[in-house]
């Protein structure tokens, strides 16, 4: 029997509630599909601070590296907000991503038909949107040297090496092969040499994927096109700073933060997590929406374990739950037939996914 080891980091706030529901669904679908999942739990963020005094214990760093993939909830909360920066929960998460060498951030932005009214854009513009933003995560201007801050001037450096562009481009093309086979590479090649370089390398990598259609777009135009006609995009490939901005804009097309998953992948083990935070305002009430985390578990099956049928089952189960009118409180205003708790939503999706 196929068997996988999953690292589980529940984190803080609603983290434990939503991760428990994702595991419920993973258990149901793995039984149905005939593979085995073993879970190993690790501490991160506030929970780790409370237990060990640091936000990223060595045991977590070493432990996750031995897993096939890591499912993560969220970290942070007011309890730890006044700690020094190096001791804060967020520092633990950034440190973990660095340790795991995750250079690619995958952020799907899809709109469920049943929730077209939840978006701030017109239903005709967003119905059927299904975009994957592939953002380079460990290079570009956020990390480039030199960087200096003086009294009379300050500067950062946007730098990309050939290897960095090649590997992120391959991630985007590989994903496009599993989707609609279209990649739009977003840059600012009309102004920046580094973007011109990026574009040339992406063109080179595209030759390895003759079935994938490659286009290029300037980032200012891409921002506009995302709002004007988001359906034109399949995979958006872009650098760190442009991807940071565009993926946030794209994610809001769906209208609800509780629905969208993400993945950070790279050289080794990938981290799969919802895009939202630990929602301390609703933690412990059993009303959080677990769908973003369940959807992250589906991405984990698809991209880390190659269990595509199981991933499809989860995606379809989420759609069915929404089509049947089940909503957690955050989506109560959008065609709800029945308001359910976090745990009830997990039960419903697990049931559909196991069929």
Q: Which residues are catalytic?
A: 142, 188, 220, 244, 248
42 in Cβ contact with 15 (< 8 Å): no
Minimum distance from residue 140 beta carbon to ligand NAD (Å): 20
Instruction: Return the residue of 41, 281, 309, 333 that touches ligand NAD, per CB under 6 A.
Output: 281
Residues 6+ apart with CB under 8 A from 243: 105, 133, 134, 135, 136, 137, 186, 236
Task: Rank residues 28 and 288 by Cβ distance to ligand NAD and give the closer one.
Answer: 288
CA distance 8 to 40: 6
Could you tell me which of 109, 46, 69, 73 has the C-alpha nearest to residue 246? 109
Instruction: Return the residue of 25, 74, 183, 217 that touches ligand NAD, per CB under 6 A.
Output: 74
Q: Does 255 bind ligand NAD (CB under 6 A)?
A: no
Minimum distance from residue 263 beta carbon to ligand NAD (Å): 12
- Name the phi and psi angles at 182, rounded to 5: -135, 130
Q: Does 279 bind ligand NAD (CB under 6 A)?
A: yes
Q: Does 106 bind ligand NAD (CB under 6 A)?
A: no
> For ligand NAD, which stretch binds (CB under 6 A), given 21-29, 127-135, 183-191, 288-296?
288-296
Q: Does 76 bind ligand NAD (CB under 6 A)?
A: yes
Q: Which of residues 292-311 bind ligand NAD (CB under 6 A)?
A: 292
Residues 6+ apart with CB under 8 A from 319: 112, 113, 114
Helix or strand run (H / E) with residue 226: helix 219-228
Count of residues touching ligand NAD (by CB under 6 A): 22
Q: Does 243 bind ligand NAD (CB under 6 A)?
A: no
CA distance 81 to 348: 36
> For ligand NAD, which stretch binds (CB under 6 A), given 70-78, 154-162, 305-313, 347-355?
70-78
Alpha carbon of 307 to those of 30, 110, 168, 292, 348: distances in Å?
9, 21, 22, 19, 21
Instruction: Return the residue of 63, 255, 277, 346 that touches ligand NAD, per CB under 6 A.
Output: 277
> For ligand NAD, which stretch binds (CB under 6 A), given 147-155, 163-171, 284-292, 296-304?
284-292
Q: Does 288 bind ligand NAD (CB under 6 A)?
A: yes
187 in Cβ contact with 220 (< 8 Å): no
Task: Rank residues 75 and 237 by Cβ distance to ligand NAD and give the closer one.
Answer: 75
Task: Rank residues 47 and 175 by Cβ distance to ligand NAD and give the closer one.
Answer: 47
Q: Which of residues 6-65 bind ligand NAD (CB under 6 A)?
A: 14, 18
Instruction: Return the residue of 16, 144, 280, 325 that touches ligand NAD, per CB under 6 A.
Output: 280
Tell which phi-psi region holds residue 202, choosing left (phi > 0), alpha (psi between -120 and 50) or beta. alpha
Instruction: Return the residue of 119, 289, 296, 298 that touches ligand NAD, per CB under 6 A.
Output: 289
Instruction: Return the residue of 119, 278, 295, 298 that touches ligand NAD, per CB under 6 A.
Output: 278
Strands (E), the chain: 2-11, 35-41, 69-74, 104-110, 130-136, 148-149, 154-155, 182-187, 213-218, 235-238, 261-265, 271-274, 326-327, 338-339
> For ligand NAD, which stretch binds (CB under 6 A), given 110-118, 228-236, 277-285, 318-326?
277-285
Q: Does 230 bind ligand NAD (CB under 6 A)?
A: no
CA distance 179 to 200: 24
346 in Cβ contact with 23 (< 8 Å): no
Q: Does 257 bind ligand NAD (CB under 6 A)?
A: yes
Could you tell me which of 355, 258, 343 has the C-alpha nearest to residue 309? 355
Radius of gyration of the chain (CA): 20
Instruction: Return the residue of 7, 57, 63, 77 that touches ligand NAD, per CB under 6 A.
Output: 77
187 in Cβ contact with 199 (< 8 Å): yes
Minimum distance from residue 284 beta carbon to ligand NAD (Å): 12
Question: Residues in the site for ligand NAD, rule: CB under 6 A?
Answer: 14, 18, 74-77, 90, 93, 257-258, 273, 276-282, 288-289, 292, 330
């Amino acid at each position: 029997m196929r068997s996988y080891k999953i690292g589980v980091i529940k984190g803080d706030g609603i983290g434990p509630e939503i991760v428990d529901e994702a595991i419920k669904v993973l258990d149901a679908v793995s039984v149905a599909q005939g593979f085995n999942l073993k879970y190993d739990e690790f501490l991160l963020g506030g929970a780790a601070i409370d237990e060990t005094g640091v936000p990223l214990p060595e045991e977590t760093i070493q432990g996750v590296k031995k897993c096939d993939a890591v499912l993560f909830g969220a970290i942070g909360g007011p309890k730890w907000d006044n700690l020094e920066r190096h001791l804060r929960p967020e520092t633990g998460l950034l440190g973990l991503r660095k340790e795991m060498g995750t250079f690619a951030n995958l952020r799907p932005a899809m709109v469920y038909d049943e929730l077209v009214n939840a978006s701030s854009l017109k239903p005709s513009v967003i119905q059927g949107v299904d975009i994957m933003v592939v953002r380079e995560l460990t290079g570009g201007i956020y990390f480039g040297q030199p960087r200096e801050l003086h009294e009379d001037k300050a500067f950062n450096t946007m730098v990309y090496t050939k290897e960095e562009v090649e590997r992120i481009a391959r991630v985007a093309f590989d994903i496009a092969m599993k989707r609609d086979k279209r990649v739009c590479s977003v840059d600012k090649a009309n102004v920046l040499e580094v973007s011109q370089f990026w574009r040339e390398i992406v063109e080179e990598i595209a030759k390895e994927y003759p079935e994938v259609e490659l286009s290029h777009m300037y980032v200012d135009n891409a921002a506009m096109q995302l709002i004007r006609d988001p359906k034109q995009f399949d995979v958006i490939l872009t650098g760190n700073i442009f991807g940071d901005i565009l993926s946030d804009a794209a994610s809001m097309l769906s209208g609800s933060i509780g629905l969208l998953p993400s993945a950070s992948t790279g050289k080794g083990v990938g981290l799969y997590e919802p895009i939202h935070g630990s929602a301390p305002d609703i933690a412990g009430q059993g009303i959080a929406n677990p769908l973003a985390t369940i959807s992250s578990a589906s991405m984990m099956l698809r991209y880390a374990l190659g269990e595509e049928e199981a991933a499809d089952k989860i995606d379809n189960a989420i759609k069915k739950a929404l089509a049947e009118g089940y909503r957690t409180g955050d989506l109560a205003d959008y065609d709800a037939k029945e308001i359910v708790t976090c745990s009830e939503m997990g039960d419903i999706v697990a049931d559909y996914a196991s069929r």
